[in-house]
Amino acid sequence: MLSIISPIMRIVEIPMLALQRLLGINKLAWVFLLPNLILFGLFAFLPVILNIFYATTGGDNVLLADRPYVGARNFGTLTDCSNFLDPNSCREDKFWRAVWNTVWFVTLQVGFMVGFSLLTAIILNRDIRARGFFRSVFFFPVLLSPVVVALVWKWILQREGVLNAFLDWTGVGGINWLVSADWAFGWSVFISVWAHMGFYTLILLAGLQAIPRDVYEAALMDRSSPWRTFRRITLPLLSPTMLVVLVLAMIKGVQTFDEVYAFTGGGPGTATTFIIQYIYEEGFAGAPRLFGLSAAASLLVAGVLVLLTLVQLWANRSNVDG
Amino acid sequence: MGKVLSFLTATRGKNGKLHWTDWVSYGYLTLGVFLMFGPVLWLVISSFKTEADLQRFPPTLLPYAQETVQVDGYDNPLPLFLMTGGDYEGQTLAQLRRVGSQAQMVDPANPDERLRVNIANREPVEKLHLATENYTELFERFNFLRFFWNSTFITVTATAIMLLVNSMAAFALSKYEFRGRMTVLLMVIGTLMIPQTVVLVPLFLIVTELGMFNSLWGVIIPGAATPTGVFLLRQYMITIPDEILDAARMDKASEWKIFWRIIVPLSAPAIAVLAILAIMWRWNDFLWPLIVLTQSENFTLQLALNSFQGELQTDWQSLLAMTVLTLLPISAVFMFLQKYIATGIASTGGK
């Protein structure tokens, strides 16, 4: 491997040396930055600006020059609702279904996930044998691809799957899980928690281990009860980490697409269609490719994400010293 | 065994007894092992079952297949049954054909005489059998190697480009004093707020205009620069003492040589962590490849899996085998590097 790279690096050194002589050492920094900045500019900042153009134009052409300007009409279409709480009263009912599904999903998913992650982290932080093993057990699903996660659970939940066999055996009787809207939604929350909780457990465990031992020893001296110790010491000292985890989980939760799309395809009906799937389907999956609606919806999502990210950066500010 | 025993009886209290909270903890963790590993293990076991075995309800734990026998005068091997009632109770017979509730059977030892039995009076003879043909069929029936190659190519190339580009930027941001450094840093933080999911449409235009639609490069290049990567590497490079760089400059080393020969080797731990993360992100990537790669010969494994699960509703045996092969590389990485993955993820706070 190195025998291929080394000669290349030696060749790169020739123009870099010339640039160094030309610019001086400090300006050479820009040369080192250049590839990264080009990529950021082309694939992060330029798209943000173009997104605004897309959101304000109509038609199904991807080339901006061929798209007629429509002003705020896309946003108007999305928000044309007599009652925002009832998607049926909206012109773009699928959008609002996706919005409310996402709101519910994020609430449930983040709640359960942070709860179970905290519980697991606290247990792993005890005097546990083979902590490394158990930690990696909970982390294992994080590495699996979303499609694999979806298929693993689909195989278990299918009509003649192992879960229904078990329920049959206990006498409860099988249920056609993914055909019922409520069950499909519930299982989507479940597999999403299953797949990601190891990640948050890890962060919370690191936070717990950063709490100094002597604080607990002092609490023990004062005969503080375990519950009181937990409420008065662990929770307050863990709260910065908790905030980071909470916001991070929300940022990711809003963007949920992969595993649920592979799991239920958004169905039955639109029961598990979330906002990113709406954006994807409007822009890329349907026959008239409504890039305008798709871009307008993604700008709305971007607004939410920017807010959340600012909170995250604020919560995490000790790590970004500039 | 002694180790297991001492592990299970780990003590907390002074008198060698487990506190009840310890029991609860170990109970919870055991349940966790079952819940986290169980489903994947079940998938792996199932992938070795034959088609008939997969359709069995309720399913058996281990893969079984019906035993067959070669009988004189018949071309194909015949399935074996054990008679549980009727005239031939206790005998093992081979089935010729089944008509309604009756079956024509034959005794393998006496192939000329045809016997007519009721199917209620028999049970199939089964043995443990690993249906490895599920896997070999993948290579014959599908373009599996192609998908595997696409995924591997994207993962390897994108990781290499990302490591180079991000470490160059991190080097500039950690070891140079120049005007505009703060601006660039803020820009990098800014990109944190722009996940791919919210710029899909314009990203699609840019990639199309660059001629990278339906090309593996369209997946590789847009994700090559990550703010997480720049931050992770920069935080590490800051800790490398400037004196080393000054000494190298005294020896007339060029800046590029300093970067390549000093900074990169010294940052190896951080680069390794980033490499693991990048491999994971790329291998598992789904939404963006789904948009850019629309022709099946460009599919990555994830896309192929997803499209086959739509097409092959009933063909679970191919689907399961393909899923196992998709999760195998990542699981292998996990086995060997899980310690580094854990520290890496904890230190970046994820992406």
- The residue type of B193 is M
Q: Are B292 and B219 in contact (CB under 8 A)?
A: yes
Say if A86 falls within a structural domain: no
Q: Are B220 and B161 in a shared domain?
A: yes
Give the pLDDT of residue A62. 79
Question: What total number of domains does chain A contain?
Answer: 2
Residue B41 lies in a domain: no
Domain boundaries, position B118: 68-124
Instruction: Return the SS3 of B111.
Output: strand
Q: Is the pLDDT of residue A186 over 70?
A: yes
B58 found inside a domain:
no
What is the CATH number for A169? 1.10.3720.10
Q: Is residue A200 within 8 Å of A122, Cβ to Cβ?
A: no
Test the A interface: residue of B29, B213, B335 with most A CBs within 10 Å: B29
The pLDDT score that the predictor gives to residue B19 is 79
In a domain, B219, yes or no: yes
Of A13, A129, A309, which is closest to B257 when you measure between CB atoms?
A: A13
- Tally Cβ neighbours within 10 Å of residue B187: 18
Residue A26 within a domain? yes
Rounded to a whole number of angstroms, the distance from the CA of B34 to the nearest CA of chain A is 9
Same domain, A100 and A49: no
Confirm whether A84 is domain-assigned: no
Say whether pLDDT at A318 is over 70: no
Print the domain residue range for A14.
Answer: 2-55
Q: Which of A151, A209, A250 to mutate to test the interface with B (most CBs of B within 10 A)?
A: A151
Of the candidates B36, B46, B201, the beta carbon closest to that of A298 is on: B201
Residue B29 maps to a domain: no
Q: Above 80 in pLDDT, residue A124?
A: yes
Looking at the partner chain, which of A33, A132, A141 has a beta carbon nearest the beta carbon of B172?
A: A33
According to DSSP, the residues that pair with B78 across neighbouring strands are B69
The reply to whether A303 falls in a domain is yes
In a domain? residue B204: yes
Q: Higher confidence at residue A244 or residue B2?
A: A244
Tell me the mean pLDDT in the region B72-98: 79
* pLDDT for A151: 92
Residue tagged 């043909």 (tokens): B133
Task: State chain B's mean pLDDT as an integer.
Answer: 83
**Cα–Cα distance, B25 to B12 (Å, whole number):** 12
pLDDT in tens, A85-111: 888 888 888 899 999 999 999 999 999
User: Does one domain contain both A162 and A103?
Assistant: yes
Residue A265 and residue A184 in contact, taking contact as beta carbons nearer than 8 Å: no
Q: What pLDDT is recorded for position B335?
A: 76
Which residue reads 């170990």 in tokens? Answer: B26
| Residue in chain B lying closest to A167 (CA) | B58
Asked if B210 and B306 sit in the same domain, the reply is yes
Q: A68 lies in a domain? A: no
- Say whether both A147 and A256 belong to one domain: yes
Q: Are both B292 and B184 inside the same structural domain?
A: yes
In a domain, A78, yes or no: no
The verdict on B96 and B155 lying in the same domain is: no
Q: Among B126, B131, B128, which residue's Cα sits nearest to residue B68? A: B126
Q: Is residue B30 part of a domain?
A: no
Q: B108 and B153 in one domain?
A: no
Complete DSSP assignment for B60-91: PSS-EEE-EE--TT-SSPEEEEEE-SSTTTT-
User: What's the burial of A45, exposed, middle or buried (CB within 10 Å: 0-12/13-18/19+)?
Assistant: middle
Q: Based on the domain organization, do B291 and B179 belong to the same domain?
A: yes
* pLDDT confidence bin for A152, thresholds 50/70/90: very high
Given a contact cutoff of 8 angstroms between Cβ atoms, the answer to whether B344 and B273 are in contact is yes
CA distance B271 to chain A (A): 15
- Establish if A51 belongs to a structural domain: yes
Q: Which of A43, A154, A198 sits opposite B222 (nearest CB)?
A: A43
* Residue A202 with chain B: CB contacts under 8 Å: 342, 345-346
Three-state secondary structure call for residue B123:
strand
State whether A266 and A164 are in the same domain: yes
Q: What is the mean pLDDT of residues B287-311?
A: 89
- Beta carbons of B158 and B278 less than 8 angstroms apart: yes
Closest-approach residue (CA) in chain A for B332: A143
- What pLDDT is attached to residue B197? 85
Are B294 and B204 in the same domain?
A: yes
**Any B CB within 8 A of A170 CB:** no
Number of domains within chain B: 2
Residue with tokens 């014959």: B140
